[in-house]
Chains A and B, each alone.
Chain A
Amino acid sequence: MSPILEVNDLTVTFPGGIQAVRGVSYQVSRGEVLGIVGESGSGKSVTSLAVMGLLPKNAVISGSVRLHGRELLGMDEDELVRVRGKAISMIFQDPLSAFTPVYTIGDQLAEAVRIHQKVGKDKAFKRAIELLDLVGIPHPTVRAKAFPHEFSGGMRQRAMIAMAIANDPDLLICDEPTTALDVTIQAQILDVLKTAQRETGAGIVMITHDLGVIAGMADRVLVMYAGRPVEEGRVDDIYYRPRMPYTMGLLASIPRVDGAEGPLVPIEGAPPSPKNLPPGCPFAPRCPMRIDACEQEEPPLVTIGDGRHVACIRSREIEHKNLSSTDVYPVPVIPPSDIQRVPREQRAKVLELDNLVRHYPLMKGAVFKRRVGTVHAVDGISFDIVEGETLALVGESGCGKTTTLQQIMQLEPPQDGRIVVLGKDSAKLDKASRKALRRDLQIVFQDPMAALDPRMPVGDIVAEPLRAHGQKNVSAKVVELLELVGLAAEHAERYPQHFSGGQRQRIGIARALALEPKVLVLDEPVSALDVSIQAGVINLLEELKNRLGLSYLFVAHDLAVVRHLADRVAVMYLGRIAEIGTVENVYDRPAHPYTQALLSAIPLPDPEMERTRKRIILEGDLPSPADPPSGCRFRTRCPKFARLSEHERRRCVEEEPVVIKLANAVDHGAACHYAEEIEVIPASDDLEEK
């Protein structure tokens, strides 16, 4: 079959000699899914923008992009719109930008249909409704009359897919289509994409940094690094038999929900800046297999075997010796902690939440504000953390985990319930003791750029908590802290923006550790970081915990990271705890239907398992926390509820379940009347070379 799209030796150069893309070639045929993976700055998005002709005028593009054999580069604008518009559609990360806010979704879809097909208005609108139905929007006839802002994020993404397939395109380009979404919504969208592909038979180019998403979707994978493809091949080959150190490192550095034990394998350093690339292999500065020849010239992308291309001069050797990532990369050793040998009951409690409540008034009106309702952000949650333990608070956006964390950090009396930090009740603190308590309770924020004052040298940032608590000679301590988190003493004089994301997060951690706290609150500490950098920070957190005997309250939405880092986990849904227990219990034997859905929604970076896995796909979106459903809050989306008999359902509607310890478990509880443990993550025994 002849390919739909053929890209040959594409290069994109931005003014100032920034080579964003340096020779990318690929083909996509009908019905085929090509995954392009890479970290931020690898040029993966710029490549697809160049293909779509969406780059700014000042970008210099060379090479060739052929659609059905016709060259697109250099074609004039009008013709391009005609040729491209019907044949290729694009799905972006942010669906809001794809719609005009002042027209209804239905009208915009009908419009899109009419541009390329000669049909009447009514017929086009009917087709729009069909499309909405196809992408799984409930009540499409009603919803077609809604405006874009009335849709939730997941619904908008569906509508965008509907728009993209309106004209039966031959090719769909999806640029991080699910990155901004929660996992259960992501599972829905990926499902819709698969349906859309089945319906239209289109080829898909899937661009993402998420190796799990690619594993489940793609037939072939292209790995990009520093603007160039470094490895290409069938999805199984790439995942099970990577032949290039970067790919190997990437696969070894992702934490997995199916719980491969042991420390992650980080890739040292950061990707090179496109302004000054190293002369030889761009990965050389970070490559553990580097030899002198690597630095002489950039290795070309050579074909090895059937449809596989690798750009590494030592790929044959890797092939030959059948090296795996653990042979190539040094596996970090994380010292075990002593405290973990003490049974949990004998350790002191460092943080205790008892029925914590936080409601916000919902106001309406610009001039005269009146209260129209109450947002039940946090509605009675309880948990505790003991010395040397990590408790993860997980849940999707809007579940109240961030509010919980703020309530703890403020150390103010809560609206209702109790917060006890290191045995001190936050309601009974005076000013001095509150300040003293802050020494022992520190926080690491999600966005490492926003959390560091851009106008402060790093030395001052790290020294700030020390000075605030009255320590005088801080410079020696600052150096010590910087070295503790893997930075150098001379970094103290630089500003945060001179550091990469991972390094900035390390600075944030150093600052949090300055006062030698006992409890560290981690607010999504790695979610803003690239995969290869994430692993290093996760390992650092683990090591620090063991070395310094810290306790972590870890807030995250990424369940894979949680599995890796946490001892216990609490799953939140709409301001309540749905399930709580040790990581092993909750992950391997989830008992609450929500946890089960959440875990089954997470894509595994393992093509084999992804193909055979059955997903529990949740219906609909999170209900508004201003108006939670009666009885069990999860019942509107609960797959189990749907299967219950009329009689059994009444209990879910009328009685709100509380967290009850499961019968035969030591540390495992779920808030469901009909909790039963099932296994949703396939057990993985051997990850490499299956």
Chain B
Amino acid sequence: MRSKVVLARLVRNRQARYGSIALLLLVLLAYVGPFFGQYEWTDKDFMAFLSPPSADHWWGTTTIGQDMYAITLRGMQKSIIIGLLTALIATTLAAIVGAFAGYFGGWVDRVLMWGVDLLLVLPSFLIIAIVSPRLKNASWLWFVVLLAVFAWMITSRVVRSMTLSLREREYVQAARYMGIPQWKIIFRHVVPNLSSLLIIDATLNVSGAVIGEAALSFFGFGIQPPDVSLGTLIAEGARNATGYPWLFVFPSGMLVALVLSINLIGDGLRDALDPGSNT
């Protein structure tokens, strides 16, 4: 019943509709767009270094003659997946760890929060720096996991403290008296009542992951040249943003569009889940 009602509300929600259409278009652009360009992302046009957007190179070229259109889209393919996946993993982890710690209390709480605090004080950058060379040849999906693992702790602390008050609510008590298993109560009554927070957290995590990945790539971990991501492109383009704006504008424009569409979907989802809003 709940999923049906929420889905119906989601479909009726205008923000969610526009957001999903935008995201769909972006995904289409990233994966289908390259077939329409004249250049492959691996091609280098030695006749045109740093040329501004033109009929030949729609979005201009880079210092080494790569076609901006081709490599931006190539970067986007990576970044969309990295962003969405990281956000999904980080927020889910935060919700589960925080809710379990808050709901059960006692030793479960102490062990989980000890883990959270440990991860918080460890310099995450250092860990990533140590681990990622070993992952060089592994799938880059490991990199997503790594990014996610360091992005959920603060949220999980917030989730925990909110759960502390939620678990005293009468409807949670009612569920307990009904004989519903504890873990089910957490997923059915606690987490949905945290959904506003979690959705905001997830949308923030998307942009955080894309940018964070760029920072790591800059130091030589993560996405390595010649492969690209939106993050690496933006980092590179930012240096020459005034002189050669197309290097910066297109990748960052794509990132903004991506984040905006995710935000719209997030807002729509939040409204659909929140019975208080009338959409």
Q: A: which residues have CB within 8 A of B? A: 409, 434-435, 438-439, 441-443, 445-447, 450-457, 459-460, 463-465, 468-469, 492-493, 495-498, 511
| Inter-chain contact B5/A493, CB cutoff 8 Å | yes
Interface string of B175-191 (1 = CB under 8 A from A): 10111100010001100
- Measured in the bound complex, the distance between the Cα atoms of B169 and A498 in whole Å is 19
| Inter-chain contact B174/A456, CB cutoff 8 Å | no
| Inter-chain contact A455/B195, CB cutoff 8 Å | yes
> Taking the nearest CB of chain B, how far is it from the CB of A419, in angstroms?
14
Enumerate chain A residues within 8 angstroms of B173, measured Cβ to Cβ: 445
Enumerate chain A residues within 8 angstroms of B179, measured Cβ to Cβ: 434-435, 438-439, 468-469
Query: Provided the pairs A450-B169, A450-B171, A493-B5 are in contact, do residues A455 and B177 lie with their beta carbons within 8 angstroms?
Result: no
Partner of B180, one of A439, A443, A459, A464: A464
| Closest A residue by C-beta to B175 | A464
| Inter-chain contact A453/B1, CB cutoff 8 Å | no
Partner of A455, one of B4, B180, B184, B275: B275
Enumerate chain A residues within 8 angstroms of B177, measured Cβ to Cβ: 409, 438, 441-443
- Measured in the bound complex, the distance between the Cα atoms of B126 and A581 in whole Å is 74
Partner of B178, one of A438, A445, A446, A493: A438
| Inter-chain contact B1/A493, CB cutoff 8 Å | yes
Enumerate chain B residues within 8 angstroms of A511, measured Cβ to Cβ: 174
Enumerate chain A residues within 8 angstroms of B273, measured Cβ to Cβ: 455
Q: B: which residues have CB within 8 A of A? A: 1-2, 4-5, 169-171, 173-175, 177-180, 184, 188-189, 192-193, 195, 273-276
| Inter-chain contact A447/B2, CB cutoff 8 Å | no
> Taking the nearest CB of chain B, how far is it from the CB of A56, in angstroms?
22
| Inter-chain contact A465/B171, CB cutoff 8 Å | no
> Taking the nearest CB of chain A, how far is it from the CB of B10, in angstroms?
14
| Inter-chain contact B178/A455, CB cutoff 8 Å | no
> Taking the nearest CB of chain A, how far is it from the CB of B196, in angstroms?
10
11 additional contacts (CB under 8 A) given A443-B174, A468-B184: A409-B177, A438-B178, A442-B177, A445-B173, A450-B169, A451-B174, A454-B193, A456-B188, A459-B1, A460-B1, A511-B174
| Inter-chain contact B1/A451, CB cutoff 8 Å | no
- Measured in the bound complex, the distance between the Cα atoms of B193 and A461 in whole Å is 14
| Inter-chain contact B193/A445, CB cutoff 8 Å | no
Query: Provided the pairs A457-B1, A464-B180, A497-B275 are in contact, do residues A445 and B192 lie with their beta carbons within 8 angstroms?
Result: no
Query: Provided the pairs A450-B170, A497-B276 are in contact, do residues A457 and B5 lie with their beta carbons within 8 angstroms?
Result: yes
| Inter-chain contact A468/B178, CB cutoff 8 Å | yes
Partner of B192, one of A409, A435, A456, A498: A456
- Give the most central of B170, B174, B180, B195: most A CB within 10 Å: B174
Enumerate chain A residues within 8 angstroms of B180, measured Cβ to Cβ: 464, 468
- Measured in the bound complex, the distance between the Cα atoms of B174 and A469 in whole Å is 14
Enumerate chain B residues within 8 angstroms of A446, measured Cβ to Cβ: 170
> Taking the nearest CB of chain A, how far is it from the CB of B251, in angstroms?
39
> Taking the nearest CB of chain A, how far is it from the CB of B254, in angstroms?
35
Question: Could you pull out 25 A-B pairs where Cβ atoms are within 8 angstroms?
Answer: A434-B179, A438-B178, A439-B179, A441-B177, A443-B174, A443-B177, A447-B170, A450-B169, A450-B170, A451-B170, A452-B171, A454-B275, A455-B2, A455-B195, A455-B273, A455-B274, A456-B188, A456-B189, A463-B1, A468-B175, A468-B180, A468-B184, A492-B1, A497-B276, A511-B174
Enumerate chain B residues within 8 angstroms of A457, measured Cβ to Cβ: 1-2, 5
| Inter-chain contact A455/B1, CB cutoff 8 Å | no
> Taking the nearest CB of chain B, how far is it from the CB of A393, in angstroms?
17
| Inter-chain contact B170/A445, CB cutoff 8 Å | yes
Enumerate chain A residues within 8 angstroms of B170, measured Cβ to Cβ: 445-447, 450-451
> Taking the nearest CB of chain B, how far is it from the CB of A478, in angstroms?
8
- Measured in the bound complex, the distance between the Cα atoms of B169 and A447 in whole Å is 10
| Closest A residue by C-beta to B181 | A468
| Inter-chain contact A455/B193, CB cutoff 8 Å | yes
A-B pairs with lowest CB-CB distance, top 7? A495-B275, A438-B179, A459-B1, A451-B170, A435-B179, A450-B170, A455-B192
- Measured in the bound complex, the distance between the Cα atoms of B181 and A434 in whole Å is 12
- Measured in the bound complex, the distance between the Cα atoms of B4 and A496 in whole Å is 16
| Inter-chain contact A453/B171, CB cutoff 8 Å | yes
Partner of A451, one of B2, B4, B171, B195: B171
Enumerate chain B residues within 8 angstroms of A438, measured Cβ to Cβ: 177-179
| Inter-chain contact A445/B1, CB cutoff 8 Å | no
- Measured in the bound complex, the distance between the Cα atoms of B169 and A446 in whole Å is 12
| Closest B residue by C-beta to A455 | B192
Enumerate chain A residues within 8 angstroms of B276, measured Cβ to Cβ: 497
Enumerate chain A residues within 8 angstroms of B4, measured Cβ to Cβ: 493
| Inter-chain contact A456/B178, CB cutoff 8 Å | no
> Taking the nearest CB of chain B, how far is it from the CB of A291, in angstroms?
35
- Measured in the bound complex, the distance between the Cα atoms of B195 and A614 in whole Å is 57
> Taking the nearest CB of chain A, how far is it from the CB of B176, in angstroms?
9
> Taking the nearest CB of chain A, how far is it from the CB of B105, in angstroms?
15
Enumerate chain A residues within 8 angstroms of B1, measured Cβ to Cβ: 457, 459-460, 463, 492-493
Partner of A460, one of B2, B178, B274: B2
Enumerate chain B residues within 8 angstroms of A469, measured Cβ to Cβ: 179
Enumerate chain B residues within 8 angstroms of A439, measured Cβ to Cβ: 179
Enumerate chain A residues within 8 angstroms of B175, measured Cβ to Cβ: 464, 468
> Taking the nearest CB of chain B, how far is it from the CB of A581, in angstroms?
29
